[in-house]
């Protein structure tokens, strides 16, 4: 089995520092009757993914724009599904030394920026789509797939297509020219997707179609995908 890819990505965001009398620092618990109200106000003012040092000055606060916050939420959601971790770094509060050593951000014009394995990079809000994020986070497939070539006796192709597509295990069907007539992609739950069970399905269900003369099936030992699942 191939070596697993690096599972950590860094997401650079750029918050905005604002001065507001509404912002209040966090109030320690047990601070008296008015503490609860002030703590609620502080929690409301403090944005997600912003470090606690923003509470050191009552007149300063860092806010993340909604579009960047959406990118963070989408990245973290998909990373959780695909077995990755996302480290969020706010460049608006990064120290000078960290700025100098972060060569990954050289030439960056817009935020957020996601840096993944192999220094792959997504830059800007519009780049943060589910498709692009899945490409940046290749993952082991949660299902067992198999690939079957079919040789078909001449007949009603529409009928054969409908018969194949009624089988839940058939995920894709492709018509070919050459030695084989049809190529189908099969998908199974891992619990029943062992090689023998896959071949049993092909010989019993697909070969059971009268027009199917012959089949040849490939069952991968290991699969990784960039597609959503």
Domain ranges of the chain: 8-136, 141-223
Cα angle: 75, vertex 76, 77; to 5 degrees? 95
Q: Which CATH number fits domain 141-223: 3.30.70.920, 3.40.50.720, 3.40.190.10, 1.20.120.160?
A: 3.30.70.920
pLDDT value of residue 118: 78
pLDDT value of residue 26: 57
* Percent with pLDDT over 90 in the chain: 55
The C-alpha atoms of residue 173 and residue 29 are separated, in whole angstroms, by: 62
How would you class 45 by CB atoms within 10 Å of its CB: exposed for 0-12, middle for 13-18, buried for 19 or more? middle
Q: How confident is residue 183, by pLDDT bands cut at 50, 70 and 90? A: very high
Q: Distance of alpha carbon 80 from its chain centroid, rounded?
A: 8
On the question of pLDDT at 56 being above 80, the answer is: no
Q: Which residues contact 210 (CB under 8 A, 6 or more apart)?
A: 153
- Residue 29 φ then ψ, to 5°: -65, 150
Q: How confident is residue 83, by pLDDT bands cut at 50, 70 and 90? A: very high
- Per-residue pLDDT reduced to its tens digit, 114-156: 998 777 899 999 999 999 999 999 999 989 999 999 999 887 7
Q: How confident is residue 81, by pLDDT bands cut at 50, 70 and 90? A: very high
């Amino acid at each position: 089995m191939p070596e697993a890819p690096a599972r950590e990505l860094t997401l650079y965001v750029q918050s905005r520092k604002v001065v507001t009398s509404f912002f209040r620092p966090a109030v320690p618990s047990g601070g008296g009757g008015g503490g609860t109200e002030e703590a609620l106000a502080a929690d409301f003012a403090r944005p997600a993914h912003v470090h606690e040092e923003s509470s050191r000055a009552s007149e300063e606060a860092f806010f993340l724009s909604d579009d960047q916050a959406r990118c963070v939420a989408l990245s973290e959601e998909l990373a959780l599904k695909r077995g990755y971790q996302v480290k969020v770094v706010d460049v608006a509060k990064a120290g000078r030394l960290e700025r100098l050593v972060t060569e990954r951000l050289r030439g960056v014009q817009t935020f957020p920026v996601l840096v993944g394995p192999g220094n792959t990079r997504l830059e800007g809000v519009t780049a943060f789509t589910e498709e692009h994020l899945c490409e940046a986070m290749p993952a082991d497939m949660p299902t067992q797939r198999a690939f079957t070539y079919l040789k078909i006796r001449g007949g009603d192709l529409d009928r054969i297509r409908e018969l194949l597509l009624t089988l839940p295990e058939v995920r894709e069907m492709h018509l070919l020219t050459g030695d084989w007539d049809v190529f189908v992609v099969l998908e199974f739950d891992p619990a029943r997707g062992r090689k023998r069970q896959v071949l049993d399905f092909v010989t019993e269900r697909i070969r059971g179609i009268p027009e199917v003369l012959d089949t040849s099936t490939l069952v991968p030992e290991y699969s990784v995908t960039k597609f959503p699942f």
